[in-house]
Structure 1
């Protein structure tokens, strides 16, 4: 079942729209935070912009696609047909393509593009029951054709981000401890005095050599 849908901008990772939450699932808030985290990673180019499945514990997974700078993410049961999940995301894309992108660029508050919430809700209804004739036809169409989807573990994505943040903190701490190194003033000094220093050293060596002879 499609349990959660989040649409966001890739350039800044802002979630702009969302679909209805699956009421029977008590972890809705956590999954929503996971979706926002993935959107942030995509905006940082830490995850591929191509069709991707992120595997979670407890028999769930996120599927997402990116088009024209907009990311469409959905949370599904692990047993939900992946092919159907990406059909759902593609339908969302098609509807979003009808919207003026200049309006999307003007959005500043998270989840404030309410106009698209209703569209998500309507399309989601079509994918709740996998046994409908329409959905069965989608599953059977091009049955031999494999989906070119990248697959990743959520735990690895989180670990990569943790290590990346740790490395960034270490670099900032190093610069704070030695502020002169890497500064613009040090670069100016180096450019100004390096040629003079080289000339002085060469002159000293030549002079020393003449005295030695």
Structure 2
């Protein structure tokens, strides 16, 4: 029962800002679910549900949208939803406190905040 992968993207352009560093096996195992996350992020709008859980194969994809940033995690089905959203809420608070000023920059590059993944 664990969180398999984490990513942070800016809405509405879907720019990936940070992500967990997954080992080669996890990258292979989770590739399809990461593609699904990209599709989900593209479809989110300001009127979308700000948090949701989507069952997908042996995993859940959870997302949380705050301050035009989408936090997503892929978890085992056995991980309680409350734990996943608590983790994302903590992640959102920490990320926003560190990078609030920089997130709106239209010239940000993909994974501009990669150093956040090491925290």
Q: Kindly provide the CA deviation profile for residues 84-127 of structure 1, in whole angstroms up to 9, marking residues without a partner as x.
A: 111110110110121242312225322232122212xxxxxxxx
Give the number of the structure whose alpha-carbon radius of gyration is greater: 1
Taking a change above 3 Å as real, the CA distance of residues 77 and 100 of structure 1, as seen in their structure-2 partners, is closer
Taking a change above 3 Å as real, the CA distance of residues 112 and 97 of structure 1, as seen in their structure-2 partners, is closer
**Which residue does the alignment assign to 2:29?**
27
Alignment TM-score, normalising by the size of structure 2: 0.84
Deviation at 1:10, TM superposition (A): 1.1
Gaps of 5+ in 1: 120-213
Measure the CA separation in 2 of the matches of 1:33 and 1:93.
22
Deviation at 1:22, TM superposition (A): 5.4
**Which residue does the alignment assign to 1:80?**
79
Measure the CA separation in 2 of the matches of 1:93 and 1:51.
12
Taking a change above 3 Å as real, the CA distance of residues 75 and 47 of structure 1, as seen in their structure-2 partners, is farther
Measure the CA separation in 1 of the matches of 2:91 and 2:49.
16
**Which residue does the alignment assign to 1:48?**
48
Measure the CA separation in 1 of the matches of 2:47 and 2:53.
11
Answer 1 or 2: higher relative contact order, Cα 8 Å, separation at least 6. 2
Gaps of 5+ in 2: none
Structure with the higher helix share, 1 or 2: 1
Structure with the higher strand share, 1 or 2: 2
Alignment TM-score, normalising by the size of structure 1: 0.49
